[in-house]
Structure 1
Amino acid sequence: MTDLLALQELKSQISGDPNGVLNSWNHSKHHCQWQGVTCDTRHQRVTALTLSGMGLSGTISPHIGNLSFMKSIHLGENQFHGGIPQEVGLLFRLRFLNMSSNNLKGEILVNLSWCSELRVVDLISNQLEGKVPNELGSLKKLVALYLNENNLTGEIPRSLGNASSMTELALAYNHLNGNLPKELGLLKSLSWIIVGVNGLVGDIPSSVFNISTLTSFVAVENMLHGMLPANIGLTLPNLEELELGGNQFHGNIPTSITNASKLQFLDLSQNKFEGQVPTNLGDLPNLLGLNLAMNLLGSNSAGDLSFLPSLTNCSRLHTLDFPLNHFGGELPKNIGNLSLQLTYLHMGYNNISGTIPKGFGNLVNLNILSMTQNSFTGGIPGDFPKLQKLQALDLEENKLSGQILSTLCNITSLYYVGLSKNSLEGNITRFLENCKNLGQLSLSWNNFNGSISAHIFGSYLSLISLDLSHNSLIGSLPSEVGKLKGLNELDISYNKLHGEIPGTLGDCSSLEELYMQGNFFQGTIPMHLASLKGIQKLDLSNNNLTGPIPQGLEKLMFLKYLNISFNDLNGEVPTEGVFRNASQISLAGNRKLCGGIPQLRLPPCITKRKKKSRHLLIIVISVFSPVALISMILLAYIIAYNKKARRHGSSSKPSMVDKLFRVSYHELHRATSGFSPANLIGSGSFGLVYRGRLYEHGDRLIAVKVLDLQKNGASKSFKAECKALRNIRHRNLLPILSYCSSIDSKGLDFKALVYEFMGNGNLDLWLHPETAEMMGSRNLNLHERLNIAIDVASALNYLHYQCEVPIVHCDLKPSNILLDNNLVAHVGDFGQAKLLASTTDSSSLQGSSSAIAVKGSMGYVAPEYGMGLQVSTQGDVYSYGILLLEMFTGKRPTDDIFMDGLDLHNYVKTALPEQVLEVVDPILLLSKQGDEIEEESAQVGLDNDDKKMECITSILKIGVECSATSPNDRMHMGETVRKLHRIRDGFLDANYINKANLDI
């Protein structure tokens, strides 16, 4: 009866039973005959509950503890929530506990140690938290402990070394930290150690490497370091799987590894291994996968790839991965003799040279072939079309020449082809005609010519991305492009295409990104583009388009980037949708546009209604008295004059400072609690910054910069900042709310500037946290840093080229960049800003000088200022370049390592491109940092790391060019902004493997 009642209570807590499993749990049968229930024959007591994978939901009743004869619980792969009942610890006969793949929360039961008969504990893939209980080490009969994929924290208990029967330990995908306990070496029967994707640190204890029974050791994506034992293959003779990727191991790969002849998977990727790869890897006959990616292997010399010929003996090899190393030399001629089972081969981001040898056609099972970013020359081998199972071919960024094989697309399984950034040439029509099944095609940055054939598009039913940009294509874009219903991205920018933009583009219902800039398109922007409901980015700039902006574009709710600059558009600019945010649209170079939101600073539109007003004025004048007539004429003249003054930027225009509300000293005193030290949030060259709350003006949070007028130059700084901020407004400039020039409570002069409060402080505190607590909570990932870099560059570009009078900031550094709650950057502190005369060439410094000393900040000041040259926008570019290098290396320009002629600029320059890993901020190399993998590019595995390193290298190159010694060698901020946007777009685009949904 006790068991029956317990089962009934269990059923009562189950709220979902989609498969009707519990329909048999009724009084028509004895409970020992209920589905999933097993009883012993002698006492008819429940001994096993087996309901795995039944889709059950609800909670697990505490009455489960009343099934005192229970030996086996299998409730895995359901949807149970809540906690594991404490009463489970009362089942002293329990041997098997499986509650994996549910939504269970809470902590692991400490009293599981009372279940002294336990053999297997499987709680994989739940939401359990807290520590792994020390008490589990007392389970002498425990064979397997599976706790993967939870939210466990703390250290791995040393007491687990007392669980003498343990053979399998799996703790991966948690938040564990600390060292790997040396006590695990006491488990002499241990065959599995799976502790990957945690926060483990330190060396792997030598005792672990002495467990001769070990068959699988997986510790990927931790912070483990040290060198592998030279005799590792001798002490681990039964090893089948060694995966240490994503750590900080260094030194050489031990040659003894081949003594572990049972080895099937060897993953040493994303470490700091160096030297040559052992040339006897062919002694591993069972090797299935070899991953050496992202290390320091090789020396850019001819013998670096001498390990490849030996791999031809590994007849079962299906994955070979060695990109992002220092491998040089040519591929061995017998590369085609690798295993016929090979499905994945990636050797990109090295310095491999020479022609691609023939023989690849022998690898008939190859699915993925990536040779991107090397120095391959010559043409594409003629035997590539033999790879009939090939799904992705990536040969981008090499030095390939000649024409594309017209038979390449005879590979019917081919989904992705990447050939961009080579020197390929010829007419692409013949090649395109044969590619019927492609999903992604990138042919950009080559020398292709000819027109785009109209009948091509009718065959591309599966195409989702087409990039033909930066070539010499001519002719018009065929209207048949509208047949590409599944197209997600189309880039035909920077060619020589002309004619009208086909309205049928609006039929590409899946289109999210459309780039057509840098061509000769003419006519109007088609109204039908407003049918692209999912469009997010649209660039039609630098063409010959005329006419108005279609009103329908403002209804595109997902559009977040619109560039129609440098055309000949006219008419009124819409004010809704994307047009409501000046930072998301670019309209420059269209002098006939009017209206729009105030931030665009466009002239007002002259409407028909105003014309009617003028007619009305004439009628009124004709009937009014002479006195009234004169008065109205004067009034009309004043109105017309003011309109003209506003159009031409007359001095009568009220400045930004003039329009600010004024605050008194007493209001600011009250807002900051008497300028209390508790509200002090920063200090600068000329004063202190306080946090406050301005109750009289909307109860808003503010930052108050109080000038110390006793300091020499403080008053001048106040005037300079007011002058600089007089007429500027940009989303990436620190918004000024008010100012105060008054007398304080002691009768002394008081000057302060009031800014919008930035909740995330300044960039310096994020790049260089002052405390361990801040270090743990203030880590900017790659995407966030890149966004901030673009924000700052956009602000400088606005100051230099989009203000009525160019403004030079003169003191750009991390502490002057404030971050709001969304980590959007705002450039502040214009205390040293200079306004350039309109007649001054703001970007050239040849021979010009100035007696005015520019202080700036050490490490960020342009070198020409020290020689007396005048202030220029290129001085800001230098400061920005140093800032960019600091953001992505984590090193200040004033760090102690920079001495004896070495500075931050040369430190990075000498590392590009081969030694980028040695200078980049280590935080950026963590594989799982925040939500980077999900939010930055939706990439997986190594491909995300490839994109990351490509992105970082490109950014550092910009930083080096911006911080060049000679001002004339630096790029302009407009070019910097464009390049950074291009880098970010490339990084955020899902890579070809993820888009193809390939299971590598």
Structure 2
Amino acid sequence: MEIIKMKNNKATSSKEKKEEVPTTPCQGTKTQLLLFLGQWFFLVLLPSFASAACDQVDHEALLSLASEVSSSPLLNWSASTDCCLWEGILCNQDDQRVIRASLPGRGLSGVISPYITNLTYLTHLNLSWNSLSGPLPDDLFSSLHHLQVLDLSFNHLIGQLSSFSSQTTALQTVDLSSNSFNGTIPSSFIVSAVSAGTLTTFNVSYNSFTGPIPLSVFCSNGNNHTSLTILDLSFNKFTGLVPSGLGACFKLQVFRTGFNYLSGSLPDDIYDAANLQELSLPFNHLSGVISDDITRLKNLKILWLTSNQFSGPIPSHIGTLSRLESLLLSSNYLTGPLPPSLTNCKNLSIFILSFNNLTGDLSAFNFSTLQHLTKLDLGNNNFTGELPQSLYSCKSLTAIRLASNQLRGQILPEIVALKSLAYLSISSNNLINVTGALRILMGCKSLTALTFGKNFGFEILPDYDNIVEPDGFHNLQLLALDGCQFTGQLPSWLANLKNLQVLDLAFNLITGSIPTWLGSLPNLFYIDLSHNLLTGGLPNMLCGLPVLTSKEAVDQVERGYLEMPIFDMSSNANNQRYNLLSSLPPAIYLGSNNLSGKIPIEIGQLKFIHTLDLSHNNFSGRIPDQISNLTNLERLDLSHNHLSGDIPASLKGLNFLSFFSVAYNDLQGLVPTGSQFDTFTTSSFEGNPGLCGPPTPKRSCHQSPQSPPQVLEVTQRSKTQRILIALIFGIFFGIGFGFGFSMDDKRIPIIGRRRK
């Protein structure tokens, strides 16, 4: 933090210029009043301000703090001015002691000076959202007896809290979240504040704390004065069971311990915390059933138990939780149908039960009572029946995911009533009539993501002018129709989807060539046409996709968050989950088709592509040297083609390349070495007998310039034999020629004579 000298404010002279006598009585009264207030300010208030100055100990402590850090932009702290007037500093009125230091998000970097402990009157310390690093001063908490609010969140602070003890009985809020603290949390750290009943918020999420959850520190049966309302221990490395005792925190409203390594079942007394509004324990190893006793938490608004090992049915009386707004139970082992009582949760907004073993006829469930529902995810279960019509009356819906169930039927026109619907995923079911579905869904004007692959088995992918109106799917950014076994060609109406960023038509039976207009879509950066029956060459236009060739186009791509995450299911993507569409690695997948011809040199224009897969086709010719221009390339698969020539040595410049395969081609010559090529195994080059050098089996490309003696002897013998055969043939040819000439009209035809 730089210290800047500021100009002192100079008081104006008490002698005022003589003003003209006003022409009206009102003007005179106003002027006299202003003169009186001005004199009163200079004679009464200004001297009192001038005499006030912050305590010298506090002044020096703040200057020491400033000397340890830098800031951007610079603070207005100057050694020659009153520190009570400095930015972020507040003093009390009695003795001008510093009671608040608040500098959130001011670009501070460096360490926290130990001299901060001299600010013994400090009640509020907020240095959040900066880049401070290093450990905390040793006696920070034992010296600041009056501290009420401590917020050091979102920094880079390190160290353990085990060496700290606090004697303060005034602490109300402790927020150390989003740092790199580790070790255990000792009871001495906050025991005084807990015992005094002042602590209301304790947040140490997003750190690396270990050991068991110290719930007894906060919720002790012998402590009847606890005021704790928020306890957030999520995103750490806590282990063991969820300890009992939570019920003793009778004022607790928020309890978060998600993203840890907790195991076992939920303790029975957790349902005694009657004021609990949020119970969040996702991404642990918790197991057992979700007890019907959870209905005792009448104030519960958020129940988040995602990614655990809970089993059994959803509590049958869960509908008695009338205040419930978010129910997130995905990625467990829950069974059975949806409890009918859920229709009583009329405040439910987020309803996520995906990746379980739930069953039942979904069309029999009445969604119409859930008028506040915005997100519904029942994907990856075993629901049967048709798409529930009652769902179309939930007018607030923005996202629906019913993928990977056993639903049948077709999409009905009533779905267009969902004016806010932006995300629809119904892939991997048994739907029919893709033509009707497309005609209806283009009426959902807010739709940005549409995935309904693995349906419509062996139907024809419609390709005529009126299937999609010119303004249909105007906002669509993601379209996935993969795995439907569609026949036909790539439909021309795709050219109208100017906002399309991701197109997935893999695993179909699409024929014809790749149309040139595909390369003109201004926002398209992810194409998967693999596993089809496409023919022809790789069009040059596809190598000019704006978002894959131009930095300006990349910057203009919309980067809004998806209403629900998507999964990149391509064979090389490791099933990655993405909440932001623009986070998908830019890619072109054309593998497993019948494409042929040469790989165009224009391929080198795709500077921003991460994955290029042209495998299992009939491409021939040389590997273009221009591929070395693709400096962001991470995966390059040219295997199973008919490529010839050598591997360009310039490909060694692809520093991010983690996967490379040219297996089963007709390549020859030395395999490049150095850089990423030293990491590729034999499998990347197999099936090319002409390749040599590590890591191929042919370790050396050296050929001997002189033939071995036995070979030379055989060669000379063969030469002698050829001369003798020629002489014998010549003798017999001469005799025959003379004999033929001696005949009169009896010409003997010559075998093999060329006919005129």
What's the offset of the Cα at 1:267?
0.9
Task: Verify: 1:189 aligned to 2:251, yes or no.
Answer: yes
Structure 1 residues 325 and 11, CA, compared in 2 at 3 Å: closer, same or farther? same
Determine the structure 2 residue equivalent to 1:335. Answer: 391
Spell out the pairing of 1:468-487 with structure 2 (5 A cutoff): 468-487=529-548
Q: Is the 8 A contact 1:305 1:327 kept in 2?
A: no
1:779-820 deviation per Cα after TM superposition (whole angstroms, max 9, x unaligned)? xxxxxxxxxxxxxxxxxxxxxxxxxxxxxxxxxxxxxxxxxx
Determine the structure 2 residue equivalent to 1:597. Answer: 694
Spell out the pairing of 1:828-867 with structure 2 (5 A cutoff): none
How far apart, CA to CA, are the structure 1 residues paired with 2:95 and 2:675? 73
Task: Verify: 1:9 aligned to 2:54, yes or no.
Answer: no
1:278-326 deviation per Cα after TM superposition (whole angstroms, max 9, x unaligned)? 123232222110111122211xx5x24533xx22222221111122222
Q: Is the 8 A contact 1:263 1:284 kept in 2?
A: yes
Name the SS of the counterpart of 1:444 in structure 2: coil
How far apart, CA to CA, are the structure 2 residues paired with 1:291 and 1:394? 18
Structure 1 residues 51 and 520, CA, compared in 2 at 3 Å: closer, same or farther? closer
Name the SS of the counterpart of 1:437 in structure 2: coil
Spell out the pairing of 1:933-972 with structure 2 (5 A cutoff): none
Task: Verify: 1:18 aligned to 2:72, yes or no.
Answer: yes
How far apart, CA to CA, are the structure 2 residues paired with 1:638 and 1:125? 81
Determine the structure 1 residue equivalent to 2:144. Answer: 91
What's the offset of the Cα at 1:634?
4.2
Task: Verify: 1:413 aligned to 2:470, yes or no.
Answer: no
Structure 1 residues 255 and 491, CA, compared in 2 at 3 Å: closer, same or farther? same
Equivalent residue in structure 2 for 1:159, among 190, 200, 217: 217
Spell out the pairing of 1:786-825 with structure 2 (5 A cutoff): none
What's the offset of the Cα at 1:441?
1.0
Structure 1 residues 201 and 604, CA, compared in 2 at 3 Å: closer, same or farther? closer
Name the SS of the counterpart of 1:466 in structure 2: strand
Task: Verify: 1:47 aligned to 2:145, yes or no.
Answer: no
How far apart, CA to CA, are the structure 2 residues paired with 1:68 and 1:330? 68
Spell out the pairing of 1:276-425 with structure 2 (5 A cutoff): 276-298=337-359, 303-307=361-365, 310-337=366-393, 339-379=394-434, 381=437, 382-400=439-457, 401-404=459-462, 406-407=467-468, 410-425=472-487
Structure 1 residues 547 and 264, CA, compared in 2 at 3 Å: closer, same or farther? same
Spell out the pairing of 1:595-994 with structure 2 (5 A cutoff): 595-597=692-694, 599-601=696-698, 604=701, 610=705, 634=709, 637=712
Aligned residues: 607
How far apart, CA to CA, are the structure 2 residues paired with 1:138 and 1:422? 64
Q: Is the 8 A contact 1:561 1:578 kept in 2?
A: no
Name the SS of the counterpart of 1:410 in structure 2: coil
Structure 1 residues 2 and 281, CA, compared in 2 at 3 Å: closer, same or farther? same
Structure 1 residues 543 and 40, CA, compared in 2 at 3 Å: closer, same or farther? closer
Q: Is the 8 A contact 2:246 2:272 kept in 1?
A: no
Name the SS of the counterpart of 1:514 in structure 2: strand
Equivalent residue in structure 1 for 2:133, among 81, 94, 97: 81
Structure 1 residues 223 and 586, CA, compared in 2 at 3 Å: closer, same or farther? closer
How far apart, CA to CA, are the structure 1 residues paired with 2:174 and 2:379? 39
Task: Verify: 1:144 aligned to 2:201, yes or no.
Answer: yes
How far apart, CA to CA, are the structure 2 residues paired with 1:221 and 1:559? 32
How far apart, CA to CA, are the structure 2 residues paired with 1:581 and 1:169? 47
- Gaps spanning 5+ residues in structure 2: where? 1-55, 549-585, 717-756
Determine the structure 2 residue equivalent to 1:249. Answer: 310
Name the SS of the counterpart of 2:84 in structure 1: helix
Aligned residue identity for 1:142: L
How far apart, CA to CA, are the structure 1 residues paired with 2:317 and 2:252? 22
What's the offset of the Cα at 1:60?
1.9
What's the offset of the Cα at 1:555?
4.5
Aligned residue identity for 2:182: E
1:676-721 deviation per Cα after TM superposition (whole angstroms, max 9, x unaligned)? xxxxxxxxxxxxxxxxxxxxxxxxxxxxxxxxxxxxxxxxxxxxxx
Aligned residue identity for 2:384: G
Q: Is the 8 A contact 1:343 1:368 kept in 2?
A: yes
Structure 1 residues 113 and 543, CA, compared in 2 at 3 Å: closer, same or farther? closer
Aligned residue identity for 1:52: P
How far apart, CA to CA, are the structure 1 residues paired with 2:481 and 2:380? 19
How far apart, CA to CA, are the structure 1 residues paired with 2:58 and 2:671? 76
Structure 1 residues 407 and 201, CA, compared in 2 at 3 Å: closer, same or farther? same
Q: Is the 8 A contact 1:334 1:359 kept in 2?
A: no
Name the SS of the counterpart of 1:226 in structure 2: strand
Q: Is the 8 A contact 1:594 1:605 kept in 2?
A: no
Spell out the pairing of 1:198-237 with structure 2 (5 A cutoff): 198-233=260-295, 235-237=296-298
How far apart, CA to CA, are the structure 2 residues paired with 1:597 and 1:456? 40
Determine the structure 2 residue equivalent to 1:101. Answer: 154
What's the offset of the Cα at 1:167?
1.6
1:893-936 deviation per Cα after TM superposition (whole angstroms, max 9, x unaligned)? xxxxxxxxxxxxxxxxxxxxxxxxxxxxxxxxxxxxxxxxxxxx
Name the SS of the counterpart of 2:384 in structure 1: coil
Aligned residue identity for 1:601: K
Structure 1 residues 529 and 640, CA, compared in 2 at 3 Å: closer, same or farther? farther
How far apart, CA to CA, are the structure 2 residues paired with 1:306 and 1:596? 66
How far apart, CA to CA, are the structure 2 residues paired with 1:518 and 1:211? 61
How far apart, CA to CA, are the structure 1 residues paired with 2:229 and 2:699? 74
Structure 1 residues 140 and 594, CA, compared in 2 at 3 Å: closer, same or farther? closer
What's the offset of the Cα at 1:506?
1.9
Name the SS of the counterpart of 1:65 in structure 2: helix
Structure 1 residues 57 and 429, CA, compared in 2 at 3 Å: closer, same or farther? same
Name the SS of the counterpart of 1:125 in structure 2: coil
Aligned residue identity for 1:107: Q
Structure 1 residues 80 and 587, CA, compared in 2 at 3 Å: closer, same or farther? closer
- Gaps spanning 5+ residues in structure 1: where? 615-632, 642-1000
What's the offset of the Cα at 1:568?
4.1
Structure 1 residues 277 and 542, CA, compared in 2 at 3 Å: closer, same or farther? same
Determine the structure 2 residue equivalent to 1:814. Answer: none
How far apart, CA to CA, are the structure 2 residues paired with 1:640 and 1:533? 52
Name the SS of the counterpart of 1:451 in structure 2: coil
Equivalent residue in structure 1 for 2:235, among 173, 176, 200: 173
How far apart, CA to CA, are the structure 2 residues paired with 1:509 and 1:41? 63
How far apart, CA to CA, are the structure 1 residues paired with 2:488 and 2:400? 29
How far apart, CA to CA, are the structure 2 residues paired with 1:120 and 1:513? 48
Task: Verify: 1:448 aligned to 2:510, yes or no.
Answer: yes
Task: Verify: 1:125 aligned to 2:178, yes or no.
Answer: yes
How far apart, CA to CA, are the structure 1 residues paired with 2:243 and 2:659? 52
Q: Is the 8 A contact 2:628 2:654 kept in 1?
A: yes
How far apart, CA to CA, are the structure 2 residues paired with 1:428 and 1:132? 60
What's the offset of the Cα at 1:422?
0.8
1:495-542 deviation per Cα after TM superposition (whole angstroms, max 9, x unaligned)? 233333322112222233222233333444334334333333333344
With normalisation by structure 1, the TM-score equals: 0.57
Name the SS of the counterpart of 1:538 in structure 2: strand
Aligned CA-pair RMSD: 2.9
Name the SS of the counterpart of 1:224 in structure 2: strand
Q: Is the 8 A contact 1:159 1:183 kept in 2?
A: no
What's the offset of the Cα at 1:177?
2.0
Aligned residue identity for 1:402: I
Aligned residue identity for 1:133: P
How far apart, CA to CA, are the structure 2 residues paired with 1:640 and 1:12? 89
1:116-174 deviation per Cα after TM superposition (whole angstroms, max 9, x unaligned)? 11111121112122222223243422111112111111222213113611122111111
Percent of aligned positions that are identical: 31
Whose radius of gyration is greater, 1 or 2? 2
